[in-house]
A and B are shown apart, each in its own frame.
Chain A
Amino acid sequence: MEITETREKDISIFQVKGRLDSNSSDGFETTVFGAIDGGARQLLIDFSDVDYISSAGLRVILKATKGLKRSNGKLVLCSLKDYVKEVFEISGFDTLLPIAPDQKEALAEFE
């Protein structure tokens, strides 16, 4: 798994590439919470290159969503592949946080 971080105004954008399973979720968590601990409050995670997610990846998303909500921040996801999106839906996560079809609409969620 690779994660690239960019910044657009106050929004931290993470481009994740690869598989989010119990092998990679620790690295994912460290990166996301590194940003939150560093003061980031608006996070966008782009899933266009995520081929796979298990409950270990969902755990990090849930933890980040909760943490950001407590500090008046926001997490938005975008560009989920169909299979990956289905995992979010089956888990009831699609109602917990905004999931946008692409980065442009995801950025609009912060306005």
Chain B
Amino acid sequence: MTAKRTSFKLKTELAELETLRQELGRYGQAANLPPKKLFEINLVLDELFTNIISHGCLEPPEDRVSISLSYKGDQMQIEVRDGGIPFNPLDAKPPDLECALEERSVGGLGIHLVKKMVDAMEYQRSGNKNILKMRKTIPSK
């Protein structure tokens, strides 16, 4: 069985979330992904990308965020590379989801959602790049 792959680069501006949606839409069709799983992958990449744009201190327009996906059997491999400041999402402090409304904040919520939507994560700092590899089980339709 050959893997269904795609890879693309996003410019470091939030408007590229639309490019992300379109790329994933095309890939979802080609790889025959269930809509719910496609939604989850979109959310994972949206949160990571938005985080990189907001906190990565990247310098547009030269910098790009590279995304690649590969689906084989029931395993989806997702990789995100960026040239932002070192950031290891595995070390991110989890948000307090139990506290009262007044104390509740959305800090850390994006990364929390990412962690809940994938089965495994691996972070590497290589040269001046953050490389985040994720795995998600997606039973084929």
Residues of A within 8 A of B (CB): 19, 21-23, 52, 54-56, 58-59, 62, 65-66, 69, 82-83, 87, 90-92, 96
Contact = CB atoms under 8 A, between A and B. Distances in A.
Interface stretch (B3-11, B79-87, B109-117, B119-127): B109-117
A90 B112 CA distance: 9
Interface stretch (B55-63, B68-76, B94-102): B94-102
Closest 7 CB pairs of A and B: A92-B97, A55-B110, A59-B106, A55-B109, A83-B39, A22-B50, A54-B46
7 contacts: A23-B17, A54-B113, A55-B47, A58-B106, A58-B109, A59-B109, A91-B109
A68 to B, nearest CB: 10
A54 B106 contact: no
Contacts of B21: 19
Interface of A is mostly: helix
Contacts of A59: 106, 109
Contacts, number: 58
B1 interface: no
Contact of B101 (A21, A23, A66): A66
B92 interface: no
A69 B103 CA distance: 13
Contacts of B40: 83
B128 to A, nearest CB: 25
Nearest to B43: A54
A83 B42 CA distance: 12
Contacts of B39: 52, 83
B47 A54 contact: yes
